Structure 1
């Protein structure tokens, strides 16, 4: 609740003295006017024919007294507002000295209240930006920590196996080839991580732009199905495409959207343990297109569903390491969907795990 500014004893005294002084001043002016009413009457007789009105001293006294009261009221209000303003200055200065962390909790007259409200808005915006800056710093520290961890592990293996070769700690050519193969695979892991980091940083950048073109979403899903058909067959899966209607025209950055569905399909292939089918479906509604990538594999644990789009999050760390996941694929997919003004969510139960994307038609 706001509270009104209360004047202290000294301020009330100043206000009272100024009010009384103003009233007495007008009383002196009144006496002077009445004492000179004869002269006024003479001048008026010469200039006008309002003798009867001017002769009525009571009317003159009433008018002058009303004018005195009105002017006294204006002066007193002016003095009061000035004291309010001084009080506001003191409170704002105290708030500024307290590092502008708390809003000013006062209620004043309407003309000054806008100043207080603007100052409180400034404090609110500063606090919000300070919190955003704090979260950004924490996010940056977390990113550095995760990247350092994910690079250190394969890099240690690369240095270790190449070190064995460098020190001639091997028995034959076959052992050398084994060491170099492991070092090569670990180097590929690091390259994948660096590429994913670059892609994630690029899509997160404030100046990231979309190359918008008109395309057929149904045709894009058919092409993706053909691209992953061989890989799916190797894993004992079948990719099925369904579109309603058969042709869905919309605008978007086809390169980035292709990357979104690539990541989602790869995620289904790698982590859909026990799956036999992957479904790619698109449905056009009134103002949006809904695209779903689903599989009937092992469900995602309920406590992990809210984290699957977090950077470097892995539902099963050992499995992701085995499959070469960087923990950035879904984070990149989410960022690219959001760049298109859309949203993406995940549901998972014993029947299906579905990644559902909503895109505005244009």
Structure 2
């Protein structure tokens, strides 16, 4: 609750003295003016003309009202100056004591704007400070996660190459085994670095889209063909549905291809027990809704809200089997958002669905 500024005894005394002094000054001026008219002439005129007397009385009343009003204006002006001085002191104290604390003070409307602007500045500074703290925390987490994910394969590479360097092998086949393991671990690190670079690039403020007009239904058909062999190996069938059959929209086909590539790979890797992957596109008013779904093992409820977090994995053991970096869904989300769209996930015993909403057209950045 805003508290109104209160004057101390000294300030009240100054206002009272100024009010009385100003009013008395007006009376002195009136007396001088009346005296200059001549007392006898003034009284004689009053006796001879009653209407003149009435007019004089009204004139005196009007003059008194004007004097009171002017006195009030002068006193009010002084009061506002005192308020302004107190505001300066309050804002100075607030800036020194706690820059995140807003000032809860109520003053006259002409000065209240100063308080509101100061509070808005404090609010913006506080939000900026929170964002900066969150950014620093994210950077620390990023460094920690990258270090952790690189350390394991790097340790293996160094270990197996160290065995070869120290001639701790029996024959050529053992050398080939060591080098093959080191090569696979090197590929894991390369995959992580590439994914990290892609994530950082799409997160960058200067990231731009190369907008073109394309058919979303045709893109999904092409993706289905690209992943058909991999799906067959895993005992899955990819089914494409589009309503209508042709959906023309604008977007960066390279980035959108990466989005659905990541979502399909996610379904192939983690859709344990799935027999089908559905790629559905539907045009609704001024947006296109694309769903990538599978009928495999559902995602635990506690994990649903974290699946788009970078480096998050539903099960750590999965990453060891699949070679996942934990960045695929984070990259997909960033690219969808870059198109002005949204992406969400639902999962139950029947289906796990990643649902993306895209505007049909987006202004070129």
TM-score bin (small chain): over 0.9
Question: 1:265 and 2:264 equivalent?
Answer: yes
The 3 A distance-change label for structure 1 pair 56 and 271 is closer
Q: How far apart, CA to CA, are the structure 1 residues paired with 2:215 and 2:91?
A: 59
RMSD: 1.8
What is the rounded CA distance, in whole Å, between the counterparts of 1:61 and 1:262 in structure 2? 92
Rounded Cα–Cα distance in structure 2 between residues aligned with 1:269 and 1:165? 36
Distance 1:316 1:65 in 2: 88
In 1, Cα distance between the equivalents of 2:50 and 2:168?
130
Deviation at 1:37, TM superposition (A): 2.0
CA distance in 2: counterparts of 1:79 and 1:292, whole angstroms: 69
**SS in structure 1 at match of 2:107:** coil
Other-structure match for 2:140 = 141
Distance in 2 of aligned mates of 1:64 and 1:229:
98
Q: Secondary structure at the match of 1:170?
A: coil
Q: Over residues 129-172 of structure 1, what are the superposed CA-to-partner deviations in whole Å (9 max), with x where a residue is unaligned?
A: 00000000000000000000000100000000000000000001
Confirm or deny that 1:219 pairs with 2:196.
no
Partner of 1:9: 9
Any unmatched runs of 5+ in structure 1?
none
What SS class does the counterpart of residue 38 from structure 2 fall into? helix
Deviation at 1:321, TM superposition (A): 1.9
Partners of 1:235 and 1:57 in 2: how far apart? 109
Separation (CA, whole Å) in 2 of partners of 1:284 and 1:61: 82
Give the Å deviation of 1:60: 3.9
- 1:189 pairs with 2:188: yes
| Rounded Cα–Cα distance in structure 2 between residues aligned with 1:319 and 1:211 | 35
The CA distance in 2 between the partners of 1:307 and 1:67, in whole Å, is 72
- Given that 1:54 and 1:60 are in contact with CA atoms closer than 8 Å, whether structure 2 keeps it comes out as no
In structure 2, what is the equivalent of residue 82 of structure 1?
A: 81
Q: Deviations over 1:285-305 (max 9, x none)?
A: 012110000111111111101
Partner Cα separation in structure 2 for residue 68 and residue 302 of structure 1: 77
TM-score after normalising by structure 1: 0.95
Question: Aligned pair 1:110/2:99, yes or no?
Answer: no
- Following superposition of structure 1 onto structure 2, how do residues 1-362 of structure 1 map, counting pairs within 5 Å? 1-38=1-38, 53=52, 57-362=56-361
Measure the CA separation in 2 of the matches of 1:320 and 1:277. Answer: 22
Q: SS at the partner of 1:30? A: helix
Write the distance in 2 (CA, Å) between the matches of 1:193 and 1:219: 30
The CA deviation at 1:67 is 2.2
How far apart are the structure 2 equivalents of 1:20 and 1:153? Answer: 86
Give distance in 1, aligned partners of 2:359 and 2:116.
38
* CA deviation map 1:219-258 (0-9, x unaligned): 0000000000011111111111000000000000000000
Mapped to 2, the partners of 1:282 and 1:132 lie a distance apart of 36
Counterpart of 2:19 in 1: which secondary structure?
Answer: helix
- The answer to whether the 8 A contact 1:344-1:356 is kept is yes
Change (3 A) 1:312 1:56: closer
Provide structure 2 residue ranges, at least 5 long, that are not aligned to the other structure.
none
- Equivalent pairs counted in the alignment come to 356
Q: Deviations over 1:314-344 (max 9, x none)?
A: 0111111221100000000000000001110
Q: Secondary structure at 2:3's aligned position in 1?
A: coil
Alpha-carbon distance in structure 2 between the residues aligned to 1:63 and 1:234:
102
Whether the 8 Å CA contact 1:288–1:360 is kept in 2: the answer is yes
Q: SS of the counterpart of 1:228?
A: helix
What is the SS of the residue equivalent to 1:292? strand
Q: 1:66 to 1:235 in 2, by over 3 A?
A: same
Q: Give 1:62 deviation, angstroms.
A: 2.4
4+ residue stretches of structure 1 with deviation over 6 A? none
Give 1:59 shift. Answer: 3.9
Q: 1:56 to 1:354 in 2, by over 3 A?
A: closer
